[in-house]
C-alpha cells in the first residue's frame, strides 16, 4: 500500500497493520464509527462487546463485521489489539475485569481506550499483567447520527512505546493526524475540547432561547444566529482571534455591557453568570491589555450585581 506524502516507515507500518485483529469493548458512538472505518480499511474486527446481546448485535451490523458479545468475555484476548470505547467511568472497572479474565495472557497485547480526559493509567490493571497500554482520542464530536469525517482529524495519543506506536498507526490508517501529548495533560486538553464542543453549544442554545423569548421562532433564531457564528469562525480561521473580535468589549463600550447584564436579569441566573464569566474570559484572552480591561469590566459587573440587590 502506498500513501503519498507519508514517511516510508509509516507506510510499512500501515501495510503490516492490515493483518492486525481488533476487539472492541464498548461499541456506541465512537466504537462503532472507528470499528466501521477500520473494517472498511481492511482491518479484522473480532469481538464486539457491549452490555447486552441486542446492542452488541446492532453494533456488529453497524460496523459490518465482528462477533457480538453482550458482556465482557475472554474472547477479546483473541485479538492483537483491544480498543475500549466505553464511557470514561467504566474504563477502570472494565480494565480490572479484563485483567482478571486474562491474567498473564495479556502480555504482549495492546490495549487502547478512546477517552479524552483519561490517560493510560486508567488501564493500569492490564499493564500490570504485561499489556502495552495507551489512549487514542479522536478530537471530534460523535452523536450517533451521521458519521463525521475522520480524514484530517487530530487524534491525540499517548501511551507506552508499543501502545503509542499502535495508536499512531490507527490514527494514520484512518487518515488522521496523530498528536502525542503527555498523559498528565489530558484533563486540560479535554477541558479545552469541552469549551469548543459543549460550551459553544450551550452558548448558542442560550442565544437561541433568548431570541425565542423576544418573539423569534426557533427556525428564525437559527437563521439569524448561525450566519453570525459561521462568519465568526471563518474570521477566526482566516484572520486570527484579534481581527475576529468584535462586540462591545472589543470597542470598550462598557455601558453597553452594563445594559446587557441588566437585560439578562429576566432570564435564569445562569445566563447572567455565564455572560459575566465569558465577558471576563474575552477580556483575558482577547484584549491587548487584559488587566486594564478586566479592571473596568469588574466595576461594571459589580454595578450590575449592586443593581440587582
Q: Which residues bind ligand NAP (CB under 6 A)?
A: 25-31, 49-52, 55, 72, 85-88, 90, 94, 114-116, 137-138, 141-142
Closest-CA residue to 252 (of 275, 283, 284): 283
Least gap, CB of 140 to ligand NAP (angstroms)? 6
Distance CA 21, CA 40 (A): 13
**Shortest spacing between CB 107 and ligand NAP, in angstroms:** 23
Are 77 and 46 in contact by the 8 Å Cβ rule? The answer is: no
3-class DSSP state of 133: strand
Let me know: does 13 contact 70? Beta carbons within 8 Å.
no
Q: How far is the CB of 275 from ligand NAP (least distance, A)?
A: 27
In DSSP terms, which residues pair with 191 in a beta bridge? none
Q: Output phi, psi for 101, to 5 deg.
A: -70, -40
Residue nearest to ligand NAP (CB): 28
Identify the bridge partners of residue 23 per DSSP, sorted by sequence position: 82
**Which residue, 19 or 87, has its beta carbon nearer to ligand NAP?**
87
Nearer to ligand NAP, 79 or 257 (CB): 79
Report in angstroms how near the CB of residue 59 gets to ligand NAP at its nearest. 6
Beta carbon nearer to ligand NAP, 20 or 68 = 68
Q: How far is the CB of 178 from ligand NAP (least distance, A)?
A: 15
Of 114 and 129, the one with the shorter C-beta distance to ligand NAP is 114
Which residues have a Cβ under 8 Å from the Cβ of 301 and sit 6 or more positions away? 261, 276, 279, 280
Taking the complex as a whole, the smallest distance from the CB of residue 3 to ligand NAP amounts, in Å, to 24
Q: Which three cell numbers stand for residue 235?
A: 474570521
CA angle 79, 175, 86 (to 5 degrees): 45
Contact 134, 121 (CB under 8 A): no
Nearer to ligand NAP, 158 or 221 (CB): 158
Three-state secondary structure of 257-295 = HHHHHHHHHHCCHHHHHHHHHHHHHHHHHHCCCHHHHHH
Angle at 39 between CA 34 and CA 44, to 5 degrees: 115
Minimum gap (Å) between residue 64 Cβ and ligand NAP: 16
Nearer to ligand NAP, 137 or 169 (CB): 137
* Grid cell 477580556 in the structure block, residue: 283
Sign of the torsion formed by the C-alpha atoms of 175, 177, 181 and 185: negative
Q: Which is nearer to ligand NAP, 52 or 285 (CB)?
A: 52
- Rank residues 137 and 168 by Cβ distance to ligand NAP and give the closer one: 137
Please, what is the minimum distance in Å from the beta carbon of residue 162 to ligand NAP?
A: 21
Amino acid at each position: 500500500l502506498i500513501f503519498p506524502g507519508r514517511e516510508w516507515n509509516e507506510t510499512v507500518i500501515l501495510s503490516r497493520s492490515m493483518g492486525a485483529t481488533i476487539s472492541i469493548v464498548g461499541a456506541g458512538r465512537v466504537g462503532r464509527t472507528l470499528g466501521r472505518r477500520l473494517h472498511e480499511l481492511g482491518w479484522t474486527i473480532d469481538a464486539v462487546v457491549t452490555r447486552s446481546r441486542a446492542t452488541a448485535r446492532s453494533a456488529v451490523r453497524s460496523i459490518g463485521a465482528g462477533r457480538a458479545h453482550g458482556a465482557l468475555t475472554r474472547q477479546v484476548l483473541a485479538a492483537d489489539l483491544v480498543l475500549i470505547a466505553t464511557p470514561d467511568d467504566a474504563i477502570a472497572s472494565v480494565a480490572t475485569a479484563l485483567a482478571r479474565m486474562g491474567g498473564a495472557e495479556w502480555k504482549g497485547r495492546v490495549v487502547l481506550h478512546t477517552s479524552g480526559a483519561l490517560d493510560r493509567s486508567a488501564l493500569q490493571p492490564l499493564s500490570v499483567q504485561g499489556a502495552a497500554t495507551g489512549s487514542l482520542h479522536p478530537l471530534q464530536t460523535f452523536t450517533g447520527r451521521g458519521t463525521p469525517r475522520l480524514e484530517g482529524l487530530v487524534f491525540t495519543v499517548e501511551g507506552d512505546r508499543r501502545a503509542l506506536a499502535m495508536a499512531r498507526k490507527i490514527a494514520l490508517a484512518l487518515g488522521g493526524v496523530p498528536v502525542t501529548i503527555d498523559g498528565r495533560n489530558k484533563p486540560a486538553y479535554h477541558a479545552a475540547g469541552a469549551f469548543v464542543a459543549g460550551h459553544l453549544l450551550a452558548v448558542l442554545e442560550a442565544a437561541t432561547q433568548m431570541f425565542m423569548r423576544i418573539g423569534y421562532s426557533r427556525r428564525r433564531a437559527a437563521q439569524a444566529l448561525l450566519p453570525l457564528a459561521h462568519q465568526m469562525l471563518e474570521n477566526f480561521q482566516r484572520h486570527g482571534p484579534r481581527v475576529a473580535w468584535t462586540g462591545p468589549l472589543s470597542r470598550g463600550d462598557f455601558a453597553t455591557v452594563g445594559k446587557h447584564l441588566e437585560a439578562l436579569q429576566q432570564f435564569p441566573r445562569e445566563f447572567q453568570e455565564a455572560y459575566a464569566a465569558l465577558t471576563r474570559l474575552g477580556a483575558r484572552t482577547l484584549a491587548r491589555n487584559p488587566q486594564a480591561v478586566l479592571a473596568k469590566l469588574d466595576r461594571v459587573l459589580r454595578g450590575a450585581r449592586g443593581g440587582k440587590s
